[in-house]
Amino acid sequence: MTHTHPSPVVELSGVTKEYPGGVAALRGVDLTVSGGELLAIVGPSGSGKSTLLHIVGTLDRPTAGGVRIAGHDVAALSDRALSALRSRHVGFVFQSFHLVPGVSARANVAEGLLYCGLSRAERGRRAERALERVGLGDRMDHRPHELSGGQKQRVAIARAVAGAPDLLLADEPTGALDTASGESVMELLHELNADGTTIAVITHDHEIAASLPRQVRIRDGEIVADVRNAATVTAGSGAAGLGATAPAGSAAAGTGVAE
Ligand SMILES: Nc1ncnc2c1ncn2[C@@H]1O[C@H](COP(=O)(O)OP(=O)(O)OP(=O)(O)O)[C@@H](O)[C@H]1O
Ligand SMILES: [Mg+2]
């Protein structure tokens, strides 16, 4: 289902992002994510989390600094080549689902496969498999307004993983959900990770962050802590000792907390 890369899935070096108007949303971010990791990105509102995720997902380019995704130097790629890289390697899940209203769950998931060069029939089959994977085999023909919030987020996750991406990026996937639906979405992410998908999750939920094997904390556009929990296990990850940094005196909240 996933591919093994000799190089890290994500390598950011000295990444800055300035928006027009002079906002420096990211200021010199270094981040390496290895295949099989499951990490939380945490930090206050406006600290640059979504900006970081968009750059990692190649939806946006940095103002300066290096970005390598699955070994490819993003700066060297045309927009077209970048879309191809994205459709092959990256899946996105957003807080507000971003489903197409009025069409079935199956069609929503199949839409995510449009640029993979598959036939319409094959896209439909893969969409069905992805929906079964997230426990919605009996909701294929439901349209978004006929689904609960948690089910909508499952459709969004199915859409993100239908193309078997190496890297799944989720921006507050539980933010719009009640506790039980949020928990089941997190369970699903753990399962996908156990199957080999590398996952980065932005979350405001301290419990969720603490339950993941790695937490990257960002403040004012800078990574201020990068902590691994010895107590949690990342399935399939050879991540031990890879660049873990925890500046002295920071992020005590992330350490020693088990599920
Ligand atoms: N398109 C844009 N144009 C100008 N400024 C932007 C743009 N997008 C984000 N910003 C600014 O960049 C900073 C970082 O924004 P970002 O969306 O990455 O924050 P965040 O950590 O995801 O916050 P939240 O938790 O509220 O989602 C903020 O100050 C924001 O106002
Ligand atoms: Mg955000």
Q: What is the pLDDT of residues 57-88, one digit of tens each?
A: 999 999 999 999 999 999 999 999 999 899 88
What is the distance between the alpha carbons of residues 4 and 39, in angstroms, rounded to a whole number? 18
Q: What is the mean pLDDT of residues 191-199?
A: 94
Residue 218 contacts residue 58 (beta carbons within 8 Å): no
Helix (H) or strand (E) holding 27: strand 23-33
pLDDT digit string, tens, across residues 166-189: 999 999 999 888 888 899 899 999
Measure 25 CA to ligand 1 centroid, in angstroms: 6
Q: Is residue 77 within 8 Å of residue 22, measured between CB atoms?
A: no
Helical packing angle, 149-161 and 120-133, nearest 10°: 130
Instruction: Determine the average pLDDT of the residues in 33-51.
Output: 97
* Residues 141, 106 contacting (CB under 8 angstroms): yes
**Which residue has better confidence, 234 or 126?**
126
Distance, in Å, from the CA atom of 246 to the CA atom of 238, rounded to the nearest integer, reads: 19
Closest ligand 1 atom to residue 48 Cα is 18
Over range 114-142, report the average pLDDT. Answer: 93
Token code pair at residue 125: 């089959």
d(CA 154, CA 113): 16
> Is any ligand 1 atom within 6 A of the Cβ of residue 44?
no
19 lines ligand 1 (CB under 6 A): yes
pLDDT > 60? residue 24: yes
Count of all residues that appear for the chain in the document: 259
| Predicted confidence (pLDDT) at residue 232 exceeds the cutoff of 70 | no
Query: How far apart are the CA of 118 and the centre of ligand 2, in A?
Result: 32
Domains recognised in the chain with CATH numbers: 10-247 (3.40.50.300)
Q: Please name the residue whose Cα sits nearest to atom 29 of ligand 1.
A: 46
Atom of ligand 1 nearest to the CA of 43: 21
Question: Does 115 contact ligand 1 (Cβ within 6 A)?
Answer: no
